[in-house]
A and B are shown apart, each in its own frame.
Chain A
Amino acid sequence: MDPQATEVQEEGCYAGLTHDHLNAQGIMDHVRSPQAGAIVLFAGTTRDNFGGKPVKELQYSAYNPLALRTMMSICKEIREKHDLKLIAMVHRLGTVPIGEESILIAVSSAHRQAAWRAGEEALEECKSRVEVWKLEEFGGEEGGVWRANRDGLQGVQVPASAPTNPQDSGDGPFGPVIRPRRPGEMGHGAVVHPKPDQLG
């Protein structure tokens, strides 16, 4: 894969990384199909707080060639599993001001049920696997904190410079992602969300 590439496209699948604003219309057009009866679009936006603590802005960085490869492999897996027509995902990099989109995922299928399910699953797989990192800037003298999507509850050592709050739920009331272990896996378990009563 071209290490400078910022997008890859293979049969029915599109994955991209960009420093520009994300374009919801553009990614929907990537998955438009006359055979589809539904398009589901997910937009992840940057939140102004972490556990009640104000966040000034977020910065995303990536291992571009590997992130694109992982995004493409998620697209292929989800497209096949849910018999989708098309699937597309794009992640924004660099500084993303609060309230703007940081990720867009669009899927199209003949019927809506498959599209709903595939959209959710694609996002959860992204959050647990894609080699993109989020730095939350709190402002003031504290500096930023590298966030981790996985839970910190299972005896995983957390770097002092990147504290991971066990209450980091990622977001949303989704269940854990069940999938086979991957080579080299140590600290990256499935994304496990805490119970609502554990949230601040």
Chain B
Amino acid sequence: MAPKPPKGHFNVLYFASANSFTSMESESLPAPLPLRKLFETLDKKHPGIKVKILNSCLVTVNLNYVDIPEKDDDRNQVTIEEGDEVAIIPPVSSG
């Protein structure tokens, strides 16, 4: 399990191809962060991850799947808060 994020931060968890790309299981990022900015924030830390990995991934916040708003003025803008657990979910392959 990822360690508890430091004060003012949230955790993002990387699985499967996201884990291979970043060579990390998780990292802490400053909160709050609008969900809409998540992919570009991660792409700055891990250049190329958006196109190669994130665009085919789903995202959960505290174990719930969320839609990433496409535009600034989309309704239901979600903000990632301090202490949240965000996860990058690549296409699954159980069985």
Contact = CB atoms under 8 A, between A and B. Distances in A.
Interface of A: 1, 3-4, 44, 60-61, 63, 65-67, 69, 91, 102-103, 123, 126-135, 146-150, 156-162, 164, 170-171, 182-188
Interface string B77-95: 0000000000101111111
Contacts of B53: 159, 161-162
A160 B94 contact: no
Contacts of B58: 184-188
Interface in B44-95: 51-53, 55-60, 63-68, 87, 89-95
B91 A69 contact: no
Contacts of A162: 16-17, 20, 53, 90
Contacts of A171: 95
A135 B87 contact: no
Instruction: Give the contact-size bracket for chain B.
Output: 20 to 34
Interface string B1-41: 10000000000010111011100000000000000000000
A161 B56 contact: no
Contact of B20 (A123, A146, A184): A146
B65 A3 contact: no
Nearest to A129: B92
Contacts of A91: 94
Question: Interface on chain A toward B: helix, strand, loop, or mixed SS?
Answer: loop
Contact of A157 (B15, B21, B56, B66): B56
B12 to A, nearest CB: 12
A148 B92 contact: yes
Nearest to B21: A161
B15 A131 contact: yes
Contacts of A129: 92
Nearest to A171: B95
A104 to B, nearest CB: 11
B94 A103 contact: yes
